Amino acid sequence: MLGAVIFDFDGVISDSERLHHKAAQDIFAGLGVDLTWERYFHDYIVYTDAECFEAVSRDFGLSLDSRKIADLINQKGNIFRRIAEIQNTIYEGVTELVELLKAGNIRMAICSGASLNDIETILAGTSLIGAFEVIVSADDVSRGKPEPEGYLLALKRLNDNGSNLSGNHCVVIEDTIGGIKAAKAAGMKCLAVANTYDANELEAHADMVVAGLGQLSIASLEGIL
């Protein structure tokens, strides 16, 4: 029986991956690095900001120390929030699915590699505020996806009220292969939405692939279990 749906954020709820890239690109341009979308998509898209900046520093020979990386991440967050505040990035079908799950008393959580500030900036002023019982962000984990730490923490927090929800009662909604691997490693079923990768790339990894979330029902999500 379906106990909870855990959403990734960027690329699932919010069409914000390119906003993150634009903000990071602006920061690294000041350091002489041309961080193209193709390089970002191929190598860094699944990472938290800290993992991304550490990897770029290593890959481009920047030798940035932890203090400098923290400062650059803060600058990147400010750029991202300025862009996000003037754009509606919520994917079509997301609000309808959330309302459907709410009406069916299905618990909902977010598990994202984005910072909590970035998530709250995008959710602010939308009907999605308050819909998610738990939000696990990059601020909460030491290892991002494809490691399962975030999803295991989301499950733990869902059970903090004394419930006995297990991973095989949860369906994760993801958009990247790294995210799918994280969900699977946490013992959860995973539905992939083809917002970031082509459906044929996702099919080899996910339990189900859809073009958009508006076509989903509670019955179809239960069918994955």
Q: What is the pLDDT of residues 175-210, one digit of tens each?
A: 999 999 999 999 999 999 999 999 999 999 999 999
Ordered alpha helix ranges (H), the chain: 17-29, 37-43, 49-59, 66-84, 94-103, 116-123, 149-158, 177-185, 199-202, 218-224
The domain of 148 spans: 4-15+89-224
Average pLDDT, the chain: 96
How many structural domains is the chain composed of? Answer: 2
Domain end, chosen from 84, 113, 135, is at 84
Q: What pLDDT does residue 178 have? A: 97
For residue 60, what are the CA distances in angstroms to 28, 40, 52, 80, 141? Answer: 10, 13, 12, 22, 25
Helix 66-84 / helix 116-123 crossing angle, nearest 10 deg: 0
User: Which residues, listed in sequence order, are joined to residue 6 by a DSSP beta bridge?
Assistant: 109, 172
CATH number at residue 211: 3.40.50.1000
Q: What pLDDT does residue 189 have? A: 98
Which carries the bigger pLDDT value, residue 49 or residue 86?
49
My answer on whether 29 and 140 are in the same domain is: no
Domain end, chosen from 51, 84, 117, is at 84
Task: Output the pTM of the full model.
Answer: 0.90
Considering only CA atoms, which of 132, 119, 21 is closest in space to residue 79? 21
My answer on whether 57 and 161 are in the same domain is: no
My answer on whether 175 and 147 are in the same domain is: yes
My answer on whether 220 and 180 are in the same domain is: yes
Q: What pLDDT does residue 13 have? A: 97
- Tokens 């690294």 locate to 28
My answer on whether 51 and 125 are in the same domain is: no
User: Which residues, listed in sequence order, are joined to residue 214 by a DSSP beta bridge?
Assistant: none
My answer on whether 142 and 199 are in the same domain is: yes
At 151, phi and psi to the nearest 5? -70, -35
My answer on whether 128 and 172 are in the same domain is: yes
My answer on whether 77 and 147 are in the same domain is: no
> Torsion-angle region of residue 85: left (phi > 0), alpha (psi -120 to 50) or beta?
alpha
Does residue 32 surpass a pLDDT of 90?
yes
Q: Is the dihedral of CA 214, 216, 217, 218 positive or negative?
A: negative
> What's the token pair of residue 74?
């803060």
Looking only at Cα atoms, what is the longest distance across the chain?
52
Domain end, chosen from 57, 84, 111, is at 84
Question: Can you tell me the mean pLDDT for 205-221?
Answer: 95
My answer on whether 188 and 199 are in the same domain is: yes
